[in-house]
Structure 1
Amino acid sequence: MIYFELNIRFEGLRLKFYRFSAGIWTIGYGHTGNDVCKDMTITEKTANELLKRDSLNCLNQVFTVSPILINAGKNCISAIGGFVFNLGIGRYRNRTLRKCINAEDRISSSHEIRKWVFAGGKKINGLVLRREIEAELLLKS
């Protein structure tokens, strides 16, 4: 599925713990949680298992707040799933993007998703590319 490939491409693999910009311990393909701690190291196999689990949990959250996506097709699910995997369900749940998705307005959705390219007040090239790919997937759905 495109969704897993997007997460692998944009999250990047780190087998040794690191602090995400918000000060959160992170490992693997962007895995966070109480099970991540300082000095932690994992294998690529474990990173892939965590990615699968985290990705499925993320999609379950997405389907809970936007049940219309259950039958939306892989492109739309991949775009919104990738967005939520990257930013969290809270940044999707009460935003205009979700309203556009739930209204099945893919053009407005593609415009909204492109706005999410800043981190720490700075425009990030990697986020611009990620959001552009997600926007294109929305337009293909």
Structure 2
Amino acid sequence: MKLDKNGLEFIQNEEGLRLKAYKCPAGVWTIGWGNTYNLNNTPVKEGQVITKDEAVSLFENKIKLYESAVNKNVKVTLTQNAFNALVSFCYNVGMFAFASSTLLKKVNSKASLPEIFIEFKKWVHAGKVIIDVLVNRRKREIELYKS
């Protein structure tokens, strides 16, 4: 599967576009639409600036990795919106965290929607602190997943 227009826009809206590097709530330098690495796989650095065209290129290239991670790890048939929500989640938490998550296990075991949604809601921390932005993002991902 691939993200549709709705999924691409969902992630871009959740991440917001920043052309100058900033520290995300987890303390990681980030740029563009939530990218922590550049196209050449070097980490984003303090003071780094990119153009909108560079941000688009970075997003288009990086999003393929997250689509691939969801396609590789999910073993059940998904609706388009469930796929979109899982790619958004994966994009936010990282491919390795997604691949080892109980959320993925619940999806693959065809757990009930409430059980799956409980797992989404666990991913709201930066360190040990609950981040409101993540609480709200998970709510929107749940809404997208079930729509």
Larger fraction in helix: 1
Aligned to 1:115: 122
Distance in 2 between residues matched to 1:116 and 1:35, nearest whole Å: 23
Runs of 4+ in 1 over 6 A off after TM superposition: none
Q: CA deviation at 1:37?
A: 3.5
Structure 2 counterpart of 1:112, one-letter code: E
Give yes or no for the alignment of 1:90 onto 2:96: yes
Contact 2:26 2:127 (8 Å CA) reproduced: no
Unaligned runs of 5+ in 2: none
Distance in 2 between residues matched to 1:75 and 1:106, nearest whole Å: 17
Aligned to 1:6: 10
The within-5 A match list for 1:23-102 is 23-33=27-37, 34=42, 36-68=44-76, 71-102=77-108
Aligned-residue identity in percent? 33
SS of corresponding position for 2:49? coil
Q: CA deviation at 1:28?
A: 0.6
Q: CA deviation at 1:82?
A: 0.5
The within-5 A match list for 1:8-23 is 8-23=12-27
Give deviations 1:76-130, integer Å, cap 9, x for gaps: 0111100010000222212211111112335121121012111121211111111
Structure 1 residues 137 and 106, CA gap change in structure 2 (3 angstroms): farther
TM-score (norm 2): 0.82
Contact 1:65 1:93 (8 Å CA) reproduced: yes
Contact 2:63 2:91 (8 Å CA) reproduced: yes
- Could you tell which deviates more after superposition, 125-134 or 3-12? 3-12
Aligned equivalent of 2:143, options 132, 136, 141: 136
TM-score (norm 1): 0.85
Structure 1 residues 103 and 117, CA gap change in structure 2 (3 angstroms): same
Task: State how many pairs are aligned.
Answer: 138
Q: CA deviation at 1:137?
A: 2.0
Unaligned runs of 5+ in 1: none
SS of corresponding position for 2:20? strand
